[in-house]
Amino acid sequence: MAGFEPGSLPDLLPLYYRRLFPYGPYGRWLSYGGVVKNYFQRREFSFTLRDDIYVRYQSFNSPQELEKEMQKMNPYKIDVGAVYSHRPSQRNTVHMGAFQAQEKELVFDIDMTDYDDVRRCCSSAEICSKCWTLMTIAIRVIDRALVEDFGVKHRLWVYSGRRGVHCWVCDDSVRKWSCAMRTAAVEYLTLVKGGSETVKKVNLTDPIHPFISHSLSLVEPYFEDYALVGQDILGSSESWEKVVALVPEYILRLLLREFPKKHDSVQRWELLKKKMEKCKPSHAESEIMLQYCFPRLDINVSRGVNHLLKSPFSVHPKTGRVSVPIDLRKLDQFDPLEEDGEKENETEPEPKRRTRDYRKTSLAPYVRVFEQFVEEMDKSRKGELLKKSDLQGDF
């Protein structure tokens, strides 16, 4: 997708917002069935307009009003914030202190930049097919924990448009979580700790908590292809020295001696594993896998109830790529670079009918994932209502 011109945004965005943005399911999502009064109306949106003009505390009386505004303003970026105690656009009419953020989805932001110390192919905002595996692993690990440990039923994974992924957890109870609960959840999910000053970022002690052992079993199948072949982490002395710094002292010296005699990363890893077998209390082998592959979350994104995060289906102004939902059933096949940018969509022929254009474009499969997600929530809500009315004896 090299060759996207940010300068073309003013021309492409109006087309995108007129023909492609899936307003229908989007509005249904954020209305959450209309169960809670004025839930959509009290939601904060923020728009980033051209020339970096940033407008916060936008709120709308209906999804249709949101649609009109988006088509009028053609924002470069749209963020979704919290549901407040009052309509954000009217916050100035409320007593100071009374205007409070009340609910929001639990969100996660996993950014490839946070892995720069352990990936060799790219750095900073660049991504390639080799290091994208890190995102695949991250999604697998976090998603399993969300579903199996936290009992989450409704979550949406989204490609951020540039260098990472976001997760939106939408269960009713989770949207009400306090700041403390969100922080606790991130802490539970964190294994890689320490900044540039820390060499060994993962430290495991017995007993190994099921969260860790489950996560390891998800990382392991990817490790050889990703780390040993793709990243070639034991390919040269410069890189294997970093790995070997994570094993116990006496093994370290032995490996430094033996590694040059081996031919490639795969062989060297085998050697390391064999030597580690004899140091049973140490978990260095697992620690290495985790330090090189385990998800790294940005706690600041998840912690605040009022934190704003880029909306699904928002365009990334620097890449022209749309923030699309990821189909978990086809996770391993997802390729962010294949993902259609604005440019392609714009060249689709203008159909006769304006409505539901997105179904005919390359955006369609992503919209389908999103629609399924919204439908699941609708179904689940109906089920809850039925259960409640059964209990109350309503007929």
Enumerate binding residues for other proteins (CB under 8 A). Answer: 148-152, 177, 180-181, 183-185, 187-188, 207-213
Peptide bond preceding 351: is omega within 30 degrees of 0, i.e. cis? no
Pairing verdict, β 53-58 and 164-169 = unpaired
Catalytic annotation on 111? yes
Catalytic annotation on 384? no
Which of 111, 287, 339, 342 is labelled catalytic? 111
Minimum CB separation of residue 227 from other proteins in Å reads 25
β-partners of residue 103 are 83
Integer Cα distance of 322 and 76 in angstroms: 11
**Complex with other proteins: residue 98 or 180, whichever CB lies closer:** 180
Integer Cα distance of 341 and 345 in angstroms: 7
**Complex with other proteins: residue 11 or 148, whichever CB lies closer:** 148
Minimum CB separation of residue 173 from other proteins in Å reads 8
Which of 79, 103, 105, 109 is labelled catalytic? 109
**Complex with other proteins: residue 213 or 236, whichever CB lies closer:** 213
Minimum CB separation of residue 183 from other proteins in Å reads 7
Integer Cα distance of 56 and 69 in angstroms: 14
Q: How far is CA 301 from CA 141, 167, 322, 349, in A?
A: 18, 11, 20, 39
Residue whose C-alpha is closest to residue 76's, from 58, 56, 51, 57: 51
Which amino acid, residue 112? M
Minimum CB separation of residue 220 from other proteins in Å reads 18
Minimum CB separation of residue 151 from other proteins in Å reads 3
β-partners of residue 155 are 169
Which amino acid, residue 159? Y
**Complex with other proteins: residue 194 or 210, whichever CB lies closer:** 210
Tokens of 351: 């159909």
Interior/surface letters 31-66, b for 16+ CB within 10 angstroms, e for the rest: bbeeeeeebbbbbbbbbbeeeeeeeebbbbeebeeb
Catalytic annotation on 149? no
**Complex with other proteins: residue 9 or 189, whichever CB lies closer:** 189
Positions annotated as catalytic residues are 44, 109, 111
